[in-house]
């Protein structure tokens, strides 16, 4: 009976890892004005970029929105995926520039990333770290 209870508790605690625990938003996300290079329809969860840290070290994520606003946050090992919402000025925007580094300054990923993408950071065996972009 103890094994069943332990298994049930373990499953409940690990069930939360499938969802983004930390939604990060544009500083002007509540502004109603619209820009030209944006989609006007928005479905919950569909206008995001997800970043998941599967490595053993903490990482720093720096993002630059298309209007010049920036966002910076850290993702520690074992944390659930973080989501960056690209819904601001009343519309869903297509992409943003993302730079991911370790706390030591090692550059892992640096590129423009499209909406609805997922970036996974994995430990590399011989070359440090590896970032995998999924759509």
42 is in which domain, residue-wise?
A: 19-134
Q: Look at residue 3 and tell me if it is in a domain.
A: no
Higher-confidence residue of 119 and 9: namely: 119
70: β partners: 64
3-state class of 99 per DSSP? strand
Check: CB of residue 72 under 8 Å from CB of residue 65: no
Q: Look at residue 9 and tell me if it is in a domain.
A: no
Q: Look at residue 31 and tell me if it is in a domain.
A: yes
- Mean pLDDT (whole number) for 110-135: 90
Q: Look at residue 14 and tell me if it is in a domain.
A: no
Q: Look at residue 104 and tell me if it is in a domain.
A: yes
Check: CB of residue 49 under 8 Å from CB of residue 97: no
Distance of alpha carbon 31 from alpha carbon 35, whole angstroms: 11
pTM of the predicted protein model: 0.72
Number of domains the chain contains: 1
Q: Look at residue 65 and tell me if it is in a domain.
A: yes
In degrees, to the nearest 5, what angle opens at C-alpha 17 toward C-alphas 13 and 21?
110
What pLDDT does residue 13 have?
46
CATH number at residue 34: 2.60.40
CB atoms inside a 10 Å sphere around CB 110: 12
Q: pLDDT per residue over 66-114, tens digit each?
A: 999 999 999 999 999 999 999 998 889 999 999 999 998 899 999 999 9
* The 91-93 sheet, strands edge to edge: 38-39, 91-93, 87-88
Q: Look at residue 106 and tell me if it is in a domain.
A: yes
């Amino acid at each position: 009976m103890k094994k069943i209870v332990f298994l049930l508790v373990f499953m409940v605690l690990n069930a939360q890892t499938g969802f983004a625990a930390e939604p990060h938003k544009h500083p002007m996300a509540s502004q109603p004005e619209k820009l030209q290079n944006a989609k006007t329809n928005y479905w919950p969860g569909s206008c995001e970029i997800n970043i998941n840290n599967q490595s053993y070290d903490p990482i720093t994520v720096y993002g630059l929105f298309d209007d010049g606003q920036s966002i910076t946050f850290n993702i520690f090992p074992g944390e659930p995926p973080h989501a960056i919402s690209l819904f601001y000025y009343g519309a869903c925007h297509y992409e943003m520039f993302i730079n991911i580094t370790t706390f030591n300054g090692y550059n892992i990923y640096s590129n423009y990333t499209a909406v609805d993408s997922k970036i996974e950071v994995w430990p590399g065996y011989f070359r440090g770290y590896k970032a995998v972009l999924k759509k």
